[in-house]
Amino acid sequence: MQYMENHFDLRVDPTKLVPGARSVITLLMNYFPTAQPAPEAPRISKYAWGKDYHTVIRGKLNELLDTIQQKVGNIEGRGFVDSAPVLERSWAQRSGLGWVGKNGNLIHKQSGSFFFIATLICDLELEYDDPLAKDYCGSCTRCIDACPTEAILPDKVVDGSKCISYFTIELKEAMIPEEMKGKFDNWAFGCDTCQDVCPWNRFSTPTQESGFTALPQILELSTKEWEAMSEEQFKNWFRDSPLKRSKWSGIQRNLKFLHTD
């Protein structure tokens, strides 16, 4: 994914994004669901079950900045949630919120990894948290062993050329490579396998954010019903959903790939 390499200087230097920046405030927002999808439903990554997290979290970041400005005075700041060249994971680790696991996800010792990372960069100097020094993955390799496409490599590297999330969301080509046939484990949008098997996610608790409540269509529709869905229906049902990133055509391509011999 070439865009990950672009604007490297912006990624490592917060002052390039917020002139005069003195602090990076990192926040986590839980999205772990309470509901379970029907067995016949195609598998969709949990983060995409509710409203688009960009919209939900961006509003909260703006509220936080307003609150800080009211209490402290005139400061400059800017919030980011997966929307600019910000190294969210690295800043979260340096903020003391967890460690990067072997699957590349940030893991919090008390909460697991089913959360979004948000960042507020501002020119207010603060007392800074110490990063967590210990990596608690130890000798566990469950995520590596469970990955359907063997995309998780040593040294906490995920090979995007093998990752199901890449193929089902980021890949914009008309066809998914044939050599991946039979390896997707019915994932139609994203993949949670490496998180589902992670022992630290036994501490995951249901989200309290109503915006992340699962859409009934995601929980209830069978593969056949998804395949019969019109583009107009898709746009109507998922206009505020992360699924719109793949568009109707992308979802249909993924389903055809999963269920065509």
Q: Which pLDDT belongs to residue 10?
A: 47
Distance CA 68, CA 79 (A): 13
| Chain centroid offset of residue 131 CA | 22
- Residue 204 contacts residue 111 (beta carbons within 8 Å): yes
Q: Which pLDDT belongs to residue 4?
A: 47
Please indicate whether residue 66 is annotated as part of the active site: no
φ and ψ at 121, to 5 degrees? -100, 130
Full pLDDT tens readout for the chain, 261 residues: 454 455 444 456 888 888 999 999 999 999 999 999 999 999 999 999 999 999 999 999 999 999 999 999 999 999 999 876 678 898 899 888 999 999 999 999 999 999 999 999 999 999 988 876 589 999 999 999 999 999 999 889 999 889 999 999 999 888 999 999 999 999 999 999 999 999 999 999 999 999 999 999 999 999 999 999 999 999 999 999 999 999 999 999 999 999 876
Distance CA 230, CA 253 (A): 13
What lies within 8 Å, CB to CB, of 141 at 6+ separation is 102
Measured CA to CA in angstroms, residue 103 lies from 40, 66, 128, 147, 156 at distances of 27, 35, 27, 9, 6
Q: In the β-sheet with 115-122, what is the strand arrangement from edge to edge?
A: 23-30, 115-122, 77-80
Helix (H), strand (E) at residue 11:
helix 8-12
Q: Which pLDDT belongs to residue 3?
A: 43
Residue of 9, 52, 66, 82 marked catalytic? 82
Sign of the torsion formed by the C-alpha atoms of 58, 64, 69 and 74: negative
Helix (H), strand (E) at residue 144:
helix 142-146
Distance CA 37, CA 39 (A): 6
- Residue 120 contacts residue 28 (beta carbons within 8 Å): no
Q: Which pLDDT belongs to residue 84?
A: 66
